[in-house]
Structure formats: structure tokens, C-alpha cells
Amino acid sequence: MRNYYQDFKNLHDSIKPIRGRAEEVRPIGQRRRGWERIEMDGDVVACRLYNTQVVRYYPDGRIGVRCGGWQSPLTAEFIHTHSPWQCFKRNNKLWVMVPNGERKYMHYPIPSEGELQFRIEGSHWVPVGDVVIEKKVVNRERAKAARAPYKPFLEWAKTFLKMSDGWIMHATRKEVMTRDELRYHYSFIPKQNLLESMLNEAGYLRAICCVLGSRGDAIDSRVAEVVDETVEWAGAHIVKVEYYDHKYRFELLRARVYRMVDGTSDIYDKVQVEATTRAQSGIV
């Protein structure tokens, strides 16, 4: 079995510090990339990215990984490069793929705080201590109660789309939306603002036009209007902007409404789960 500690200790000792620095800097990669370095923390060899010791090698063979709150692709790449394991970002978390000796790779989420450690047991890696993995799961009763006030809007929207064959016209959107709402994706509109519109029949038309306003999610589109507009970037000048009629499926609207409701309501419980052979969703 490879002695990772000794290998990285030898690597540290072989790298000459950059001259003229107030603190010792031994770049672990290209010498111009001083923010990627290897250093000794007592008798621990640490691979450091900016201000975080991301991978730590202990004399007793343990290896620890941490992210210091930076759940980023850059951190994942650094861990992937300077640890024995693959690392990637998925579902807003960093994951390490650790072989379990059975030709399978267990996926462990790296906590935003603290360190995840592993040690060799026989021919495979096992976590040091208990690994607590918490997952958000939907409480169906609370979700049903949170979504119930928006059922009248969804019933109205389903009828509206059926009568229009799924089309929402640009002329209609212009009547109920602001200029900025017309130009930007619905995700830029405050969710609470849209949800409030869905609770009042007078706001139904604006709500459906705002939520279903993206050309990329439409199943069909056609140019409705071409206008000259002034843009400010790179000096004010006039450009032609196209506005469209769009056709949508009701299922898209329903999914977006439920996502907004779920994201602004207390509908989740936390449960403890074990690591599996895939990156799980809903991990906190």
C-alpha cells in the first residue's frame, strides 16, 4: 500500500520556497501559482488552497479533506489533484469517491465546516469516526398544506392554457408586466411577489405571464414584435430586440409554482442517511 504521507513529505522537502516572501511558500504546482502550496502544520503535511488546508496527510496514515466553506469546482479540482480520490461538485455539495474494496466507490459529502478523515483498513478506505450525513426530505402533509392556497390559481391556469392551446401572447404579457419583467427570466422576479399574485384572482394573469416567460422553456415560439431599444453597455446605442409569443405545457408551470412554494415554506424534515454509491440530493 502506498505511503501517501511519506510521498507528500518528500514532495514538500523537494520544493524550494519562493524567494522574497515574508512567509514560506512552497508551490505544489506551477511556481507562479503561489496560492496553491504545500506546507507543514506540525507533523502534518498539508496541501493548501488560498487560506484553507484542503488535503491533510497525517503520520499515522490518515488523510483528511476539507473545504473551509468553499463548496466550489476549484476546491473540488484541487482535492481531485492532491488526494487519492476523485472529487466533484454535484447538488451544491462537494463529494469524494472513496473505494470500499468491493469495486464500488462510496460517495461522501465534504462538510462546509470541519474535516472528513479516512484511514486504511485492510485494502480499502474507511471513515475515521462516525460520519453524520443529514438529508432534507419533504414532509408530505406540510407540503400539501403549503401548496393548498395555490390550487385555485393552478386550476385557473390549466383552463387558461387549454383554451389558448398553451400559448401566452406577447401582447398579453405587455399589458400586465413591467419592461424589466418582460426582458428578464422569471427567476429574477422576487418569489414572494409572484406567490402573492397567485393568491389574488386579479393577479393571476400577471403571475402566469411572469412564470412562463422564458423562450428556452417553451415548446414552440414565434416572433410577435421587433422594437428598437437603447442599451447602455459599451456606449449607448440602439439595437433591435425581438419579443415572442410562447407555447408551454401546464406541467412546467405547476412544477415551478410548487418549487417556489416549497422553497419559501417549512416543509422539510432532516433525517440521517448513510453514504451510498452515488451523490445524493438534498444533503445539508
**In the chain, where are the structural domains located?**
4-133, 140-263
The answer for residues whose C-beta is within 8 angstroms of residue 116's C-beta and 6 or more apart is: 64, 65, 66, 96, 108, 110, 127, 131
Under 8 Å between Cβ of 12 and 39? yes
CA distance 145 to 283: 24
Three cell numbers, residue 132: 453524520
DSSP type of residue 110: P
Under 8 Å between Cβ of 35 and 53? no
Three cell numbers, residue 243: 419579443
The answer for residues whose C-beta is within 8 angstroms of residue 166's C-beta and 6 or more apart is: 219, 220, 247, 248, 249, 250
Under 8 Å between Cβ of 127 and 134? no
The answer for residues whose C-beta is within 8 angstroms of residue 52's C-beta and 6 or more apart is: 66, 67, 68, 70, 75
pLDDT digits (tens, 9 = 90+) for 43-91: 999 999 999 999 999 999 999 999 999 999 999 999 999 999 999 999 9
Under 8 Å between Cβ of 65 and 115? yes
Length of the chain (residues): 284
| pTM for the structure as a whole | 0.74
3-state secondary structure of 181: helix
Identify any residues that bridge with 126 across adjacent strands, giving them in sequence order.
119
pLDDT digits (tens, 9 = 90+) for 229-242: 777 765 677 888 88
* Closest to 143 (Cα-Cα) out of 269, 282, 281: 269
**pLDDT per residue as tens, the chain (284 positions):** 789 999 999 999 999 999 888 889 999 999 999 999 999 999 999 999 999 999 999 999 999 999 999 999 999 999 999 999 999 999 999 999 999 877 789 999 999 999 999 999 887 899 999 999 999 999 999 999 999 999 999 999 999 999 999 999 999 999 998 877 877 767 778 888 899 999 999 999 999 999 998 778 899 999 999 988 777 765 677 888 888 999 999 999 999 999 999 988 999 999 999 999 999 999 99
